[in-house]
Amino acid sequence: MEDSNSREIVESEMESMDLRSQESTDQVELESELPPEKEVITDDWRDAINKVVPAVVVLQTTACRSFDTELPSSGSATGFVVDKNRGIILTNRHVVKPGPVVAQAIFVNNEEIPVYPIYRDPVHDFGFFRYDPSAIQFHKYEEIPLAPEAASVGLEIRVIGNDSCEKVSILAGTLARLDRNAPTYRRDGYNDFNTFYMQAASGTKRGSSGSPVIDKQGRAVALNAGGSVSSSSAFYLHLERVVRALAFLQKSKDACKNKWEAVSIPRGTLQVTFLHKGFDETRRLGLPNETEQMVRQVSAPGETGMLVVDSVVPCGPADRQLESGDVLVRVNGEVTTQFLKLEALLDDNVDKEIELQIERGGTSLTVNIVVQDLHSITPDCFLEVSGAVIHCLSYQQARNFCFQCGLVYVSDPGYMLSRAGIPRHAIIKKFANDEISQLEDVISILSKLCRGDRVPLEYISYKDRHRRKVCIKCADVQHDIACTVFLLLCRFKISEEL
Q: Name the residues annotated as catalytic.
A: 94, 125, 208
Residue 81 sits at φ, ψ, to 5 deg, of -75, 125
CA distances from residue 119 to 131, 172, 177, 372, 489 in whole angstroms, order as listed: 13, 30, 28, 19, 5
Integer Cα distance of 149 and 322 in angstroms: 33
Helix 240-255 / helix 339-347 crossing angle, nearest 10 deg: 30
φ, ψ of residue 247 in degrees (nearest 5): -65, -40
Looking at residue 204, its amino acid is T
One-letter amino acid of 354: I
| CA-based torsion, 413, 414, 416, 419: positive or negative | positive
**Contact yes or no for 365/377 (Cβ under 8 A):** no
Residue 364 backbone dihedrals phi, psi, to 5 degrees: -85, 130
Listed in sequence order, the DSSP H helices in 412-471 are 414-418, 439-446
Rg (CA), the chain: 26
Residue 52: is it exposed, middle or buried by C-beta count within 10 angstroms (0-12/13-18/19+)?
Answer: buried
Q: Are 116 and 64 in contact (CB under 8 A)?
A: no
Residue 30 makes CB contacts below 8 A (sequence gap 6+) with 23
Q: Which residues of 321-349 are buried (b: 16+ CB within 10 A; e: fewer)?
A: bbeebbbbbebeeebbbbbeebbbbbbeb
Hey, what's the torsion of the CAs at 152, 156, 161, 163, to 10 degrees? 110
Query: Up-side HSE of residue 64: CA atoms within 13 Å toward CB?
Result: 9
Rounded distance between C-alpha atoms, residue 350 and residue 372, angstroms: 6
What does the angle CA 199 – CA 201 – CA 146 come to, to the nearest 5 degrees? 50
Nearest to 246 by CA among 429, 84, 444: 84
Q: Where are the alpha helices (DSSP H) in 299-436?
A: 339-347, 395-401, 414-418
CA torsion sign, 287 to 292 to 294 to 295? positive
Beta-carbon neighbour count of residue 149 at 10 Å? 11
Q: Count CB-CB contacts under 10 A for residue 485.
A: 10
